[in-house]
């Protein structure tokens, strides 16, 4: 059996029943995208737009289709840095999306920017666990599709504040998803929807509260028919969740769409069939939707021009940390950059993914690959014992891929990443043991937020002490450093 067949095969959730000749069944189609991350180059989002149009047409148009995106839409590619992802809202509007659930990366450009974009969305923004004034965000919405009342409940990433800094979230208050679900379900049930969909920026095992994972939450609500997932970048064509609901999740980075076909028996007042499938771009020749290409045209032209602009000439290669390294030339570049910008004598910063760059010219697109997130820099003052605990937490989590390489401090490690002996600040001859002496230590705001729960100790210290967040993003700071220290050389023509 081919991979494409296995991936796209119809998965039967409920036993198919005979459809009576009296026409008591009603068809409803649900289409989902998620974790697109601004993938508009190479026609990717344009191609899935074609698939969406085809599926909508097969269902009889938008009145018979629920179209939802489950977040991480507007950040993650170089073109998105040009307008902070606003072009993606225009793309959703072109396709008449009904629902959008923001993801954690959608907040990276800042809550103010996201709020302005959301106000331009013609559909409904849903997230029951967001308390966010002066925005169009709702906890849930009721759609009329195929003549049926369809309730859609939204949940953004439940631990949003561990991935996005307070500086980026500003006035956004994150609520407990479990408690909010209990609060709204009576309200939802009062309108007697015939289909209930939960659209969530989370995976099936993501904790939604201090007590429950998403799967465990679903078990509490047998009224839910369909769950649309996200965040985990998994391709899930369909599976049972919580014993009664059906769970599916579209491919990330505009790799395809997820489709659910629902049959509702209006006489028996229940869903009698739910089939789901993934349509993958890798499995088919699909041309981009021409109207969508027009939406992206100017953005892509500007991206090509801006991305090719050379900003520096590297005299040395840059490579990610190996599994055994605690620092290298790339972490040293970040450390020098951040020290020069903040004056902090101790800097913690990691490397992203598998980025590598040979000596020579560095352009803006390559700079984005080096720093693909919208992090800022925060500085807090730590005692030697606090810094020691941070170091040990970093070494204990080194395999997580989020290791923040320390610089400006000398130390030795033993088994399990435990620190041996005392710490010493670089440039000083004596040990740093005086607990009354605090030293400024710089981190990314992502690390200070806890890096998605990976650094709980660092997060607790950031909550305990005052953190000074600097105004410029790390990418801007790095560009300025490179322009100053490794400029593009212009050689005048010698006259004979």
Residue 208's CB is within 10 A of a number of other CB atoms, namely 24
Say what the pLDDT of residue 492 is. 47
pLDDT digits (tens, 9 = 90+) for 416-452: 778 999 999 999 999 999 999 999 999 999 999 999 9
> Is 313 in the same domain as 267?
no
261: closest CA among 66, 61, 29, 25?
A: 29
> Is 259 in the same domain as 407?
no
> Is 278 in the same domain as 346?
no
Where among 267, 284, 303 does a domain terminate? 303
Residues 230/249, Cβ–Cβ less than 8 Å: yes
Which of 223-232, 281-290, 399-408 shows the lowest mean pLDDT across its residues?
399-408
Name the strand (E) or helix (H) holding 460: helix 456-464
192 Cα distance to chain centroid: 33
Which of 45-49, 349-353, 441-445 shows the lowest mean pLDDT across its residues?
349-353
> Is 437 in the same domain as 331?
yes
pLDDT range class, residue 161, cuts 50, 70, 90 = very high
pLDDT digits (tens, 9 = 90+) for 70-127: 999 999 999 999 999 999 999 999 999 999 999 999 999 999 999 999 999 999 999 9
> Is 295 in the same domain as 343?
no
With respect to residue 490, please indicate whether it lies within any of the assigned structural domains: no
Domain membership of residue 183 as a residue range: 3-303
Where among 284, 303, 322 does a domain terminate? 303
Where among 275, 303, 331 does a domain terminate? 303
List alpha helices for 149-209, DSSP H.
166-169, 177-190
Mean pLDDT confidence for 203-227 = 95
Domain at 80, CATH number: 3.60.21.10
> Is 456 in the same domain as 322?
yes
With respect to residue 495, please indicate whether it lies within any of the assigned structural domains: no
Domain at 357, CATH number: 3.90.780.10
Say what the pLDDT of residue 322 is. 80
């Amino acid at each position: 059996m081919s991979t494409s067949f296995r991936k796209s095969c119809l998965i039967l959730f409920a036993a198919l029943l005979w459809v009576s000749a009296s026409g008591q069944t009603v068809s409803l189609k649900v289409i989902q995208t998620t974790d697109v991350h601004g993938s508009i180059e190479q026609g990717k989002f344009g191609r899935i737009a074609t698939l969406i149009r085809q599926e909508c047409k097969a269902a009889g148009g938008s009145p018979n289709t629920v179209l939802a995106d489950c977040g991480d839409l507007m950040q993650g590619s170089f073109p998105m840095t040009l307008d902070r992802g606003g072009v993606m809202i225009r793309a959703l509007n072109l396709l008449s999306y009904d629902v959008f659930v923001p993801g954690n990366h959608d907040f990276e450009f800042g809550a103010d920017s996201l709020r302005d974009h959301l106000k331009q969305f013609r559909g409904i923004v849903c997230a029951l666990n967001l308390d966010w004034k002066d925005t169009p965000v709702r906890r849930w919405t009721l759609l009329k599709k195929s003549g049926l009342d369809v309730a859609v409940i939204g949940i953004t990433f439940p631990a949003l504040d561990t991935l996005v800094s307070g500086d980026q979230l500003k006035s956004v208050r994150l609520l407990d998803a479990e408690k909010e679900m209990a609060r709204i379900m009576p309200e939802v049930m009062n309108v007697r929807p015939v289909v209930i969909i939960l659209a969530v920026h989370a995976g099936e095992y993501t904790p939604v509260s201090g007590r429950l994972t998403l799967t465990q939450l679903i078990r509490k609500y047998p009224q839910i028919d369909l769950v649309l997932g996200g965040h985990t970048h998994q391709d899930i064509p369909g599976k049972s969740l919580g014993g009664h609901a059906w769970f599916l999740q579209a491919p990330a980075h505009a790799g395809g769409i997820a489709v659910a076909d629902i049959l509702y028996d209006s006489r028996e007042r229940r869903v009698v069939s739910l089939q789901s499938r993934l349509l993958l771009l890798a499995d088919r020749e699909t041309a981009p939707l021409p109207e969508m290409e027009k939406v992206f045209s100017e953005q892509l032209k500007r991206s090509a021009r801006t991305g090719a602009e050379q900003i520096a000439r590297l005299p040395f290669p840059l490579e990610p940390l190996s599994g055994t390294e605690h620092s290298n030339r790339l972490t040293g570049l970040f450390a020098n950059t951040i020290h020069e910008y903040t004056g902090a004598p101790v800097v913690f910063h990691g490397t992203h993914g598998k980025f590598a760059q040979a000596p020579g010219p560095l352009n803006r697109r390559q700079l984005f690959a080096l720093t693909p997130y919208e992090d800022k820099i925060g500085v807090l003052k730590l005692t030697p014992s606090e810094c020691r605990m941070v170091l040990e937490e970093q070494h204990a989590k080194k395999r997580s891929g989020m290791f923040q390489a320390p610089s400006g401090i000398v130390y030795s490690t033993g088994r399990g990443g435990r620190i041996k002996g005392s710490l010493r600040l670089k440039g000083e001859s004596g040990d740093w043991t005086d607990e009354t002496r605090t030293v400024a230590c710089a981190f990314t705001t992502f690390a200070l937020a806890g890096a998605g729960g990976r650094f709980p100790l660092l997060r607790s210290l950031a909550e305990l002490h005052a953190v000074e967040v600097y105004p410029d993003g790390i990418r801007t700071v790095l560009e300025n450093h490179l322009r100053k220290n490794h400029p593009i050389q212009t050689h005048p023509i010698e006259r004979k």
